[in-house]
Homo-oligomer: A and B are copies of this chain.
Amino acid sequence: MVGASRTNMKEVASRAGVAMSSVSRVLSDHPDVSPTMRARVLAAVEELGYHPNMLARSLRAGQTMSIGFVVGDISNPLLAEITLGAETALREAGYSLLLTNSENQPGRDAEHIQLLQRRRVDGLLLSLASETDADTRAALAGLEQPFVLIDRELPEQPEMWAGAALSDHAAGMAAAVHHLLELGHRRIGLILGQPMRFSRERRRGLEHAFAEQRLPPSYIVLEGHLNPEHGRQATAHLLDDAEPATAIVAGGNQLLIGVLRELERRELAPGRDVSLVTCDEIPLSELFRPPIAVIQRDNRDLGRRAAELLLGAISGAEPRSDVLKTTFVPRASCAPPAVRI
């Protein structure tokens, strides 16, 4: 194999002394090809170090075998695992992944959706920065290829909406809060991110757990952004309240970082002074002293499911959404409320 520059099918054909169409047939495993022909063509391919041009193929075929992925921030371990699951499933099916980071800016979501549309991806996987942004909704409405949402819910269903891979946040949250209530906590603080599906569902799980026990709603919910600073401020707020929270639930790993920083600043220890639960496992959380209780989910599987839903839609299946379970894992960061001095 001699890597000549930019060999094309025509050159392979002339080298093998056959027609271009024959080369094409050999390379796409067409049934009606004689062994002689196959051998001659493959020899020429080898000699010239020929790599077929998928661009030309895609243009002709009308499909690119590529999927666009719009993600808020790939450096978030949660999204990175989802991406891994999706990429693996897509690759197994012969698709490639075009990745774009929106930096959690709704405006970028819309831009990227349009870019991917120009690149003629066969479908899109979307972890949107906003469920309600007008530009994003317009971009989605104009889409001509199916798209699947990852843990998001839209107010309406655009034409090409092909479903969503969702996590059952409410169930995991209800289990966590149930556990805290059993330990004797009544003043529970829940720190959430933006008003999107995962926030709504978590709040619902909390409310459900209180209602189930016929307890008055003595919880506090603080919405904000999914970043450490909101986690820190919310924690301060919860602890400085007239009736301070005895247990805190951080709705995401970025929030957890802020919570831990604030507890550290006040020299409060999780599991001793305040009980603590977080959402979505983060590398060292189980190795923490004490280990931090967590509402887990299988992120890789979430990405894989989303990819499968999309592949289904591409081959004509009806839109469908899957809800994946979340599991509460109690750990030593949860204990009975500290005795107030």
The 6 closest A-B pairs by CB, nearest first: A80-B80, A284-B284, A3-B142, A75-B84, A99-B99, A75-B81
The verdict on A55 contacting chain B, using a C-beta distance below 8 Å, is: yes
Contact of A87 (CB < 8 Å), options: B53, B99, B284: B99
Q: Is the CB of B283 within 8 A of A260?
A: no
Contact of A288 (CB < 8 Å), options: B1, B51, B56, B288: B288
Complex Cα gap A115–B77 (Å):
27
The verdict on A242 contacting chain B, using a C-beta distance below 8 Å, is: no
The verdict on A24 contacting chain B, using a C-beta distance below 8 Å, is: no
Q: A268: shortest Cβ distance to chain B, in Å?
A: 12
The verdict on A49 contacting chain B, using a C-beta distance below 8 Å, is: yes
Assess A6 versus B144: contact at CB under 8 Å? Given A80-B75, A99-B97: yes
Q: How many residues of A contact B (CB 8 A)?
A: 58
The verdict on A59 contacting chain B, using a C-beta distance below 8 Å, is: yes
Most chain B CB inside 10 Å of its own CB: which residue of A75, A120, A260: A75
Complex Cα gap A91–B71 (Å):
14
The verdict on A327 contacting chain B, using a C-beta distance below 8 Å, is: no
22 pairs, CB–CB < 8 Å, chain A vs chain B: A1-B142, A3-B142, A3-B143, A51-B118, A52-B118, A53-B120, A55-B119, A66-B119, A74-B74, A74-B84, A74-B87, A75-B77, A75-B81, A75-B84, A77-B80, A87-B101, A96-B115, A253-B283, A257-B287, A283-B283, A284-B285, A288-B289
Closest B residue to A303 by beta carbon equals: B75
Most chain B CB inside 10 Å of its own CB: which residue of A115, A159, A261: A115
Q: Is the CB of A96 within 8 A of B98?
A: yes
Which residues in chain A, 117-159, are within 8 Å of chain B measured between CB atoms?
117-120, 141-144, 159
The verdict on A326 contacting chain B, using a C-beta distance below 8 Å, is: no
